[in-house]
Amino acid sequence: MIAFLQQYAFWIITIVKIALLLFIVLTVNAYLTWFERKAVAHIQSRWGPHRVGPHGLLQPAADGLKFLFKEDVTPAGVDRFVYYLAPFLSLMLSLTALAVIPFAPNPLPFKILGEHVYLWITNPDIGLLILFAITALSVYGIALAGWASNSKYSLMGGLRSSAQMISYELALTMSVVGVLLMANTFSLQSIIEQQANAKWGVGFLGWNIIAWTHQGLFFPQIIGFICFFTSAIAETNRAPFDLPEAESELVAGFHTEYSSFKFAMFFIAEYTAMITVSCLATILFFGGWLSPFASTPFWHFTYYIPSITLIPFGLWVIYDGLKYETIFGKLILPAIGFAMFAIGGALIALPAVNDYIQPIFWFTAKIFVFLFFYVWARGTLPRLRYDQLMNVGWKLLLPVSIANVIVTAGVVIARSYR
């Protein structure tokens, strides 16, 4: 048995990693919907979900159950094969994209079945190109859903989304070329490692958004980042670029005719795409798993930041939970709070574990900031008109990102002649 396991260790570990990543991402997705509703509600001076569980924390579970038990309607006159294919395609492609994202540099401190376990599914040399290939294909899910539904609102949504995604894909790809020129590689891991900076004890100066590592001649990729994030929001069909599903004009756009779990699949695909884009923005421009502080002994105290965040938050969760009178408040919230408190304490007590989780902590924190940006943009910005959308994409973002590529190329050439 053990021999069999060891023979196929690589495959077994990969499959377990895929299952774990799917579980984590789908859970994060569910609570991202909760977070979004809560944050948008507070932006608009409302309470948001607060009935199901304390702070509405069980709302995602209720929504998931509702999706499963709703009637699955297939409208008359649809192109059945394409109609069923579209949500699968959307979900499959957006989940596949996560496979090439590296989450931490070092393998787990112990071996499993005689193999080092790295925190990525696969780490190819052309990681970024694979991500772009998947993005290029993901337009089909939405376009085909719109076409196959046999409804004019859906068709309009599908047409809009194809036009929008074709237009913004150019700016999205172009805005990343500046980073690629400076990194000289497509590998996401190498791109992150090149952003490390030990000068003056401030790590964040090395991130591509500032890019101070390149002695003397430096060119911050801030223009590239703004172009990248704007077009990425458009690529993921999120507000203020959510014309494919503009509810005031098109009912629900491309997914008007989808109900029950097929609708949920589009929903999960959209939120997973948000997570992927946040990971990519973090990796390309904000140093991925690198800490904003340098790794010199003086800055070693920053290694306690995860504990310092977890312990007070855990205590607050216990305090908050005790105010509720239901079993969730009295039992489960204090238990979760105590777990956080205990993990925070354990991290202080076990320096080896603490060292290991540093990259994961910073990566997660940065992803969370970008996810908040998404929600913030949705809560505060009005939707663009269609002609404004096209103007922004073709006449503003594309020329600016091309100019960014040219200037960056000049800086890289000048650096090579020094």
Partner 1 sequence: MSPVLLIFFVLAGLAVLGALSLVLQKHPIHSALSLIVVMVCLAGLYLLMGAEFVAAVQIIVYGGAIMVLFIFVIMLLNAGAEERTDFSKLAKIAGLPLALALTASIAAAVVKPDPGVPAVTQVVIPNATEKISSMLFNEFVYPFELTSFLILVAILGALVLAQREKK
Residues that bind partner 1 (CB under 8 A): 79, 81-82, 124-126, 129-130, 132-133, 135-137, 139-140, 143-144, 146-147, 155, 158-159, 162-163, 165-166, 169, 186
Backbone angles phi, psi at 406, to 5 degrees: -65, -45
Is-contact 180 170, C-beta < 8 A? no
CB of 126 to partner 1, least distance (A): 5
Is-contact 17 98, C-beta < 8 A? no
CB of 134 to partner 1, least distance (A): 8
What is the rounded CA–CA span in Å between residue 240 and residue 230?
Answer: 10
Given the complex with partner 1, which of 157 and 359 has the nearer CB atom? 157
Distance of CA 277 to the CA centre of its chain: 5
Given the complex with partner 1, which of 56 and 141 has the nearer CB atom? 141
* Cα dist from 96 to 77, 192, 268, whole Å: 31, 21, 13
What is the rounded CA–CA span in Å between residue 315 and residue 319?
Answer: 6
Given the complex with partner 1, which of 169 and 242 has the nearer CB atom? 169
For residue 329, give every residue at least 6 positions away whose Cβ sits within 8 Å of its Cβ, in sequence order, or none.
54, 321, 322, 323
Given the complex with partner 1, which of 43 and 170 has the nearer CB atom? 170
CB of 147 to partner 1, least distance (A): 5
3-state class (DSSP) for residue 93? helix
CB of 142 to partner 1, least distance (A): 11
Burial 133-156 (b: 16+ CB within 10 A, else e): ebbeebbbbbbbbbbbbebebbbb
Given the complex with partner 1, which of 10 and 319 has the nearer CB atom? 10
CB of 313 to partner 1, least distance (A): 42
- The two three-digit tokens of residue 133, written as one number: 């290939």
CB of 400 to partner 1, least distance (A): 21
Given the complex with partner 1, which of 166 and 396 has the nearer CB atom? 166
